[in-house]
């Protein structure tokens, strides 16, 4: 089995093997927070001192999972900071998932998830992954959710107890890397910080690259292939030659998020649409 995570096939093979792993991803938002370059992201995360410290701590106290990093636009400062702090992590490439999405090569990865019990942790739109991948869902209100970290961790642990997922997909903005760090020693499941990877598959164009005609067509074809793949079996690749067709109806989103979202608890949503909040109350 591969010991790296530098291609999309590495991800798929690891998931298919059933051997647990975890990956947290550090891009310009995470590094901007660590270096004190930003006080909020364009996608709604407010970088409080507590959030900055929590993100920094994931590197100062590393664990034995994969750290996927892209330091742009501060690569030199990132390298200097890592050397000064004597950071020793299991570094891998960050852009693997995004590049596979741009190239229309996500299908095998998605089929590997579909073949396993999975749980998505993120905004309400990710509930659509129940239909696409069979994923259960822990709902998080707003990307700016660090203030509710303890609630989210509790709800994920409860979801693990209820649904026994083998793969947990985390899409909680800057809080994602903190969640991977917190959950790694608490749950027996693969943890993948997926960023906004699934947004267009759930009908939301949250990133500039999601809006191209080519990417929309790849999303459409991938969804069709997943719908046809009843057992998550044969791995395929979307052909590079695009066919004409009607684009799916997608919603572009404004990333501005209310400050109140910082303290919103997470909710566990089962496949029947019912939910559980902290304390185990079904909704």
H or E stretch covering 277: strand 275-277
**Would you state the pLDDT for residue 103?**
86
Helices (H) and strands (E) in the chain, counts: 10, 12
**Would you state the pLDDT for residue 155?**
96
**What is the per-residue pLDDT across 231-249, written as a single tens digit (0 to 9) for each?**
544 333 333 332 323 223 3
**Is residue 250 scored above 70 in pLDDT?**
no
**What is the per-residue pLDDT across 98-113, written as a single tens digit (0 to 9) for each?**
889 888 899 999 999 9
Read off the pLDDT of each residue in 145-150 and give the average, rounded to a whole number: 93
pTM exceeds 0.85: no
Split at pLDDT 50, 70, 90, the class of 202 is confident
* Measured CA angle at 134 (ends 220, 203), to 5 deg: 35
In terms of phi and psi (left: phi > 0; alpha: psi -120 to 50; beta: otherwise), the region of 282 is beta
Percent above pLDDT 90 for the chain: 54
Q: Which of 230, 224, 218, 221 is nearest to 134 (CA)?
A: 230
**Would you state the pLDDT for residue 241?**
30
**Is residue 91 scored above 60 in pLDDT?**
yes
Residue with more model confidence, 138 or 217: 138
Alpha-carbon Rg of the chain, whole angstroms?
18
φ, ψ at 170 (rounded to 5°):
-110, 125
Q: Which of 142, 256, 254 is nearest to 205 (CA)?
A: 254
- Non-local (6+) Cβ contacts of 84 within 8 A are none
Q: Which two tokens stand for residue 205?
A: 């164009």
H or E stretch covering 190: strand 190-193
**What is the per-residue pLDDT across 7-55, written as a single tens digit (0 to 9) for each?**
999 999 999 999 999 999 999 899 999 999 999 887 778 999 999 999 9
**Would you state the pLDDT for residue 236?**
38
33 and 55 Cβ atoms separated by less than 8 Å: yes
What is the pLDDT of the chain when averaged over all its residues? 80
């Amino acid at each position: 089995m591969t010991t790296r995570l530098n291609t999309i096939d590495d991800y798929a093979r690891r998931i298919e093997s059933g051997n647990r792993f975890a990956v947290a991803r550090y891009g310009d938002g995470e590094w901007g927070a660590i270096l004190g370059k930003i006080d909020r992201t364009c996608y709604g995360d407010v970088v409080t001192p507590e959030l900055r410290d929590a993100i920094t701590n994931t590197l100062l106290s590393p664990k034995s999972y994969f750290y996927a990093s892209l330091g742009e636009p501060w690569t030199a400062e990132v390298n200097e900071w890592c050397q000064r702090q004597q950071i020793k992590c299991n570094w891998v490439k960050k852009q693997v998932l995004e590049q596979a999405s741009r190239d229309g090569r996500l299908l095998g990865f998605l089929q590997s998830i579909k073949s396993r019990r999975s749980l998505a942790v993120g905004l309400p739109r990710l509930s659509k992954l129940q239909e696409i991948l069979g994923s259960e869902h822990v709902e998080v209100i707003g990307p700016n959710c660090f203030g509710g970290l303890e609630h989210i961790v509790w709800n994920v642990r409860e979801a693990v107890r209820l649904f026994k997922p083998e793969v947990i997909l985390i899409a909680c903005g800057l809080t994602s890397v903190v969640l991977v760090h917190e959950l790694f020693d608490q749950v027996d499941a693969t943890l993948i910080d997926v960023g906004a990877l699934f947004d267009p598959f759930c009908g939301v164009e949250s990133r500039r690259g999601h809006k191209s005609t080519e990417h929309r067509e790849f999303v459409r074809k991938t969804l069709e292939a997943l719908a046809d793949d009843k057992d998550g079996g044969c791995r395929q690749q979307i052909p590079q030659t695009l066919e004409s067709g009607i684009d799916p109806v997608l919603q572009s989103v404004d990333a501005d998020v209310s400050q109140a979202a910082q303290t919103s608890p997470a909710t566990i949503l089962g496949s029947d649409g019912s939910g559980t909040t902290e304390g185990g109350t079904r909704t």
